[in-house]
């Protein structure tokens, strides 16, 4: 064997043992995003502006269902819910901004799609909200179903799945419509109010919230159809396995806690639980979370501070009349299911 081949062999062995030890120790590789987050001391989150899901309150502090997941991530990384900065940008701009590193994560109602995952290289955490696309119309049009909109002018936001789905819907049903694509959210809503468009189409989560912001909400209705499946999930850039796992398991923690009946109010009582799985989860048995290279109390802190999935949902979405629907736990006939914490 030549010296060169020998040294090359040693290098390969060393690389292989590095991979092996990472696998044995069970830690996913940290990548550029998590390194940047830790250096900066905050997580940069791109969000939308829909009441209930994400909107600044009268003091300018962001509130909402997705916002609480940003705070939960801040707890998982920093042990503090406020090491997080929320910024709104348009649906058109936010995915490129995520790609270029302007955001560490989008919690903005991004739909998981094959193109975004395969072609654009984004990674998605667990679905946080199972949604579908709706249509909001002025009541005086006398329309009761989507098919009645033959020939109508319909607004969609550029860069959204809604823009694509509405075209599919009309092609599929053999009807026609005039598309108007609008980037800016304010103009999107204004187009409906001014009569520039007959209807607008977006995720129904967005339409329910934005309808409350119209000058005369009662003059508008959301049609019964859902044109698509819109599983809304946290989106991150590819290339950072550990950041992805922190996102995955922080969401899972809120779902698993709900399944166990652990809430922000009773989590301290669960510290006395005899169940070994709950002891691992809450860090009573610290070895499990330590082996993940996480603070033993990370899941305890998340639940104590923001609560479980049901609490987050009820705090922000129940007041707007949202029913859990598909967003119930699997044990209650819904789609939410956390893999095991073990
Ligand atoms: N789910 C769709 C639409 C995403 C979207 O536009 N979401 C709404 C909120 S649910 C939004 O960000 N609107 C702009 C805003 O609220 O500022 C997609 O991923 O393309």
In tens, the pLDDT along 267-283 reads 999 999 999 999 999 99
Q: Please state, in angstroms and rounded to a whole number, the distance separating the CA atoms of residues 235 and 107.
A: 7
Mean pLDDT lowest among 3-12, 67-76, 170-179: 3-12
User: What's the mean per-residue pLDDT of the chain?
Assistant: 92
- Crossing angle for the helix pair 241-260 and 65-78, nearest 10 degrees? 110
| CA 222–ligand 1 middle distance (angstroms) | 17
Beta pairing class for 235-237 and 122-124: antiparallel
* Residue 316: per-residue pLDDT: 97
Is 3.40.190.10 the CATH classification of the domain at 133-228? Answer: yes
pLDDT at 3 over 70: no
* Residue 31: per-residue pLDDT: 82
Residue appearing with tokens 């830690």: 27
* Residue 24: per-residue pLDDT: 44
pTM of the entire predicted model: 0.91
Q: Which of 53, 69, 88, 91 to mutate to test the pocket of ligand 1 (most atoms within 8 A of CB)?
A: 91
* Residue 71: per-residue pLDDT: 98
**Whose CA is closest to atom 7 on ligand 1?**
109
Q: Which of 156, 168, 206, 229 to mutate to test the pocket of ligand 1 (most atoms within 8 A of CB)?
A: 206
Atom of ligand 1 nearest to the CA of 108: 12
* Residue 27: per-residue pLDDT: 61
117: which residues sit within 8 A by CB, 6+ positions away?
Answer: 123, 124
158: confidence class by pLDDT, cuts 50, 70, 90: very high
* Beta-strand runs (E) in the chain: 43-47, 55-56, 62-63, 84-88, 105-106, 122-124, 129-131, 133-138, 152-157, 177-182, 199-203, 220-222, 230-232, 235-237
DSSP state of 317: T
Superfamily of domain 32-130+232-327: Periplasmic binding protein-like II (3.40.190.10)
- Give me the mean pLDDT over the 120-134 stretch: 98
**Burial grade of 3 (CB within 10 A; 0-12, 13-18, 19 or more):** exposed
Ligand 1, pocket residues at CB < 6 Å: 48-50, 53, 88, 91, 108-111, 157, 160-162, 185, 203, 205-206, 230, 232
Atom of ligand 1 nearest to the CA of 50: 16
């Amino acid at each position: 064997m030549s010296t060169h081949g020998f040294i090359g062999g040693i290098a390969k062995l060393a690389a292989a043992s590095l991979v092996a030890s990472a696998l044995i120790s069970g830690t996913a590789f940290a990548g550029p995003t998590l390194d940047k987050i830790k250096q900066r001391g905050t997580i940069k989150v791109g969000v939308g502006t829909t009441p209930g899901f994400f909107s600044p309150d009268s003091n300018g502090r962001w509130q909402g269902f997705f916002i609480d997941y940003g705070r939960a991530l801040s707890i998982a990384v920093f042990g503090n819910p406020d090491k997080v900065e929320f910024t709104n940008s348009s649906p058109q701009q936010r995915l490129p901004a995520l790609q270029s590193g302007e955001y560490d994560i989008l919690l903005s109602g991004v739909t998981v799609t094959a193109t975004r995952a395969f072609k654009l290289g984004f990674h998605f955490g667990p679905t946080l909200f199972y949604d579908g696309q709706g249509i909001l119309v002025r009541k005086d049009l006398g329309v009761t179903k989507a098919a009645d909109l033959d020939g109508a002018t319909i607004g969609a936001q550029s860069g959204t799945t809604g823009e694509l789905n509405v075209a599919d819907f009309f092609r599929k049903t053999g009807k026609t419509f005039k598309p108007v694509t609008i980037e800016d959210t304010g103009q999107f809503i204004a187009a409906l109010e001014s009569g520039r468009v007959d209807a607008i189409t977006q995720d129904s989560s967005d339409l329910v919230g934005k309808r409350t912001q119209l000058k005369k909400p009662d003059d508008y209705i959301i049609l019964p159809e859902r044109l698509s499946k819109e599983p809304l999930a946290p989106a991150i850039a590819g290339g950072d396995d550990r950041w992805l796992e922190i996102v995955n398991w922080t969401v899972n923690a809120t779902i698993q806690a709900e399944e166990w009946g652990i809430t922000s109010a009773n989590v301290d009582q669960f510290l006395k639980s005899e169940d070994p799985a709950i002891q691992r989860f809450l860090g009573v048995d610290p070895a499990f979370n330590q082996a993940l290279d996480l603070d033993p109390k990370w899941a305890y802190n998340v639940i104590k501070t923001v609560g479980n999935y049901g609490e987050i949902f009820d705090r922000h979405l129940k007041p707007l009349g949202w029913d859990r629907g598909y967003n119930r736990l699997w044990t209650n006939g819904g789609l939410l299911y956390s893999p095991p914490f073990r």
